[in-house]
Amino acid sequence: MYTRACLGMIQRNLAGPLRELARHYPVVTITGPRQSGKTTLCKAVFGDRLRYVSLEPIDARDYANRDPRGFLQEYGGGAIIDEVQRSPDLLSYLQGVVDEDPTPGRFVLTGSQHFGLSEALSQSLAGRVGLLHLLPLGFDELQRFDDPPTELLQVIWSGAYPRIHDRGIPPDVWIRDYFATYVQRDVRQVLNVTDLEAFSTFVGLAAGRTATEVNLSRMGGDAGVRHNTARAWLSVLETSFLVFRAPAWHRNLKKQQIKAPKLHFLDSGLACYLLGIRSPEELRHHPLRGQLFESWVAAEIYKPRTHAGLEARLSHFRDAQGSEVDLVVDTGARLILTEVKSGATVASDFFHGLRRLAEVVEDKVAGVSVESRLVYGGSEAQDRTDARVVPWNRMLELDWA
C-alpha cells in the first residue's frame, strides 16, 4: 500500500517513508538529482501544513544568506525549504531553531545534489535530521501515468525522469536540455570544473562503460585527463545521482577476488542519449543493448531499496576462473544472486555463474540463505532448478529487500 503523493496525479513510493521519518525528526532532508520530483513530493505530503520557499530565486537566496535569523524567524512555524544547498550556512542557524523547538516534521529541506550538502548536514544537524533520497521513477511508478511505455526498448530509451512522462516531452529532447543544464549549472558553478568539453567527453565515455568494471586509468586516458581527475569526476557523477558503483562481492570483504566495482547509470535514458541512441529502434541493434539492460535492472533494484530508506547493498561477482554474477543483493539474512540477460530466450549457460556462486555461499557462508534469479527480456516466468526466471516487466513483483 502506498501513500498518495502526486507528480501530476501519480504516486511516489517515497511518500510513506517520508511521512514516517517526519514523525521522528524535526528536520527531514530529501536529496536527489534535478527533476526527480522532490518539490512536487514535498508539497503533496506537507503542503497542507508547511509553507514553501525556494532558495533558487536570487532574492530569497540573498535573504537567507544575509539575514539567516530573520529568514528562519519568518518561517518559524515550519517550512519546506527547496534547494537548500544554495545557502549551506543557513543550516548552522537552523540547528539553534530546532534545538529550541524540536517538534518533529517542522522543516523539510530539499537539495538537488550532495555537493557540500552532506557535510553541512552532518556538521550542523547531526542527530536532528533524517535523510532520504528521491531518484527517478521506478518501473512500478512509471506505470501510474495514463499512457506509460510498455515495450522494453521504449522503457530503456525513454528513461524515468518524471517530466518526460508527465508532459509528453520527447525523451531525447528533454534529456539533451537536462544534461546541458547539469553541465552548465552544477558542474561549472558548484564544482568549478573549467574544462566542460573534457568533462562532457568523460561522461559519454562513462555511459559507454555502464555495467562494466571501472578502470579509471583507461577512462582518464580516453578523456585526456589524469587518473586523479577521472576519479574526482566519477565522484561528481555519483554525488549528482547520475551513476552508482556496485562493489565486488566476496564472502570475506577484505579479500575481494576482483576489486574493481561495476559502474551503473541510474537512468537508462540518459545513458542512451550520451551514447547517441536517438530511438528505441536504434537501441534494438546497438552493441551495448545488453549493458544498458543490465544497468536498467540494477537501477530498478537500487531505486525501491533507496525509496524504502534502505542501503542499496548491491554488488557483483567474478572469480579467478571467470564465473560471473551480474548482481548480488545483500539483504542481511539472504543473498539474492541475479543474472541479467536482455534476450527473450533463456539458454542453459545463463545459469553457470549463479550455480557457482550459490555453491560458494552455501559452502562457506553460515547463516545466510541464497536465492537465485534470472531477469531477462522475455515474457514468461519459469521456476527452474537453478533459478527463478523473471520477465523484465514483472521483476518488481518480487521482494528485493
pLDDT confidence bin for 86, thresholds 50/70/90: confident
Q: Residue 196 CA to chain centroid, in angstroms? A: 23
Q: Residue 167 CA to chain centroid, in angstroms? A: 22
Among 57, 191, 178, 12, smallest CA distance to 116 is for 191
Q: Which amino acid is at 113?
A: Q
Beta-sheet pairing, 212-213 with 27-31: unpaired
Q: How far apart are CA 268 and CA 272, in angstroms?
A: 6
pTM for this entry: 0.93
Average pLDDT along the chain: 90
pLDDT confidence bin for 263, thresholds 50/70/90: very high
Long-range contacts: 275-278, Cβ < 8 Å, 24+?
A: 275/204, 275/207, 275/208, 277/157, 278/172
Q: How far apart are CA 90 and CA 69, in angstroms?
A: 9
Q: How far apart are CA 58 and CA 107, in angstroms?
A: 21
The residues, ordered by sequence, that sit 6+ positions from 140 with a Cβ below 8 Å of its Cβ are 13, 304, 396
* Amino acid 295: pLDDT: 98
Q: What is the pLDDT of residues 277-302, one digit of tens each?
A: 999 999 999 999 999 999 999 999 99
Q: What is the pLDDT of residues 174-212, one digit of tens each?
A: 999 999 988 877 777 666 677 888 899 999 999 999 999
Domain boundaries, the chain: 6-133, 139-397
Average pLDDT rounded to a whole number, residues 362-379: 91
* Amino acid 271: pLDDT: 98
* Amino acid 4: pLDDT: 39
pLDDT confidence bin for 2, thresholds 50/70/90: very low
Among 3.20.20.70, 3.30.70.20, 3.40.30.10, 3.40.50.300, name the CATH number for the domain at 6-133: 3.40.50.300
User: Is 117's pLDDT higher than 90?
Assistant: no
Among 30, 31, 12, 36, smallest CA distance to 270 is for 36
Q: How far apart are CA 202 and CA 159, in angstroms?
A: 21
Least trusted range by pLDDT, from 122-126, 348-352, 390-394? 122-126
User: Is 6's pLDDT higher than 50?
Assistant: no
The larger pLDDT score, comparing residue 189 to residue 112, is at: 112
